[in-house]
Amino acid sequence: MIKQFLQNVLGWFYYFRIKTQPERRRRRELKKWRSVLKVIRRVKRRRDYKKLARAQLLGRETIETMAHMYAWDLRQKLLAKPRYREEKRLPRFGFKGYSQNEEDGIIQEIFSRIGTTNKTFIEIGAANGLENNTLYLLIQGWLGFWVEGKPKNVASIKNRFKVPIKNGSLRVKYDWVQKNNINQLMEEGQLDSGDLDLFSLDIDGNDYHILEAIERLSSRVLVIEYNPKYRPGIKWVMEHNPKHSYDLSDQFGASLKSYEILLAKKGYRLVGCNLLGSNAFFVREDLIGDHFLSDCSSENHYEPERHFLKDGLVPLHSANFGSFQI
């Protein structure tokens, strides 16, 4: 009798619980949103604004950390593929010191194979000096010449790099590089003590036309930004426009194949590209020897655009430059 009574009571209880479940769920959601509204009202006070800002910053940092870890892991998986394990292929040597991506490591590896003469460089498109292809060389005792077309960047360079400018290891010039002044700039940057070791060009626009206009190009190594949208086989060059300014679109530079053909005429061979698909590396043909892959075609060395991998290259500390001892 008692057992039957309990079964009836519990049966009604379970029935009531099932029937009221949607309503209880709505009440919980309403309670949660009421709590959110209370927080929103409280952030009117300055102290709560600080707490909210700290919480948002923590969340943002967590997301950024996850992105860095994922990009780093993906980069390691790519480099583990048989293509990048080839002894003479360059991308696996890449690392970021002060370069935009992993150009510093590839440049270092190239010169470890072919050697240097007087350790000199010219970089056209040096930005603010803290993220380019030659600062890592400057701190190793190289001598160089930077050309930059933005007054703000030039002012920043002259302020931050006073010591190397004063002692003559670095010269800086403000100029908007064009076909009609590139040869003058090259002569100005060239030292009389021998061959130039490295020439880097990155102006996000008329790069091909500037390179084509150089009459005496004898640098041992060239670093040239290419347009990764146009894959091997496609010959594409942005129409020359003296007034061009980079607008973040794909209207810039030239395809890797176009650079390969142009620079072959000037006595250079393509030896590799960086993993992110932004810069190509050319070596003067008399220095190639057996240091690099025998196939110097864009079909062999092309890397597609992988700018998302840059998250895996971000260093712990932000870039700066100051007095130091070697």
pLDDT tens for each residue of 4-59: 655 565 555 555 566 566 666 666 666 665 665 565 555 555 455 555 555 555 55
Supply the DSSP string of 180-247, one letter for each residue.
TTHHHHHHHH--TTS---EEEE--SSSHHHHHHH-S----SEEEEE--TTS-TT---BPPP-TT----
Structure tokens at 71: 């990009």
Instruction: Locate the domains of the chain by residue range.
Output: 2-68, 87-313
pLDDT single digits (tens) 179-237: 999 999 999 988 766 689 999 999 999 999 999 999 999 999 999 999 999 999 999 99
The reported pLDDT for the residue numbered 71 is 87
Mean pLDDT of 151-160: 96
CA-nearest of 226, 214, 212 to 254 is 226
The reported pLDDT for the residue numbered 191 is 75
DSSP label at 92? G
Instruction: Determine the CATH number of domain 87-313.
Output: 3.40.50.150
CA-nearest of 129, 323, 124 to 213 is 124
Strands 279-284 and 268-273 turn out to be: antiparallel
Q: How many CA atoms lie within 13 A of 66 on its CB side?
A: 6
Of the ranges 33-37, 312-316, 318-322, which one carries the lowest mean pLDDT score? Answer: 33-37
**Residue 308: in which H helix or E strand, if any?**
none
Is this prediction's pTM over 0.85? no
Q: Which position has the higher pLDDT, 15 or 136?
A: 136
3-state secondary structure of 12: helix
In the predicted structure, residue 61 carries a pLDDT above the cut 70: no
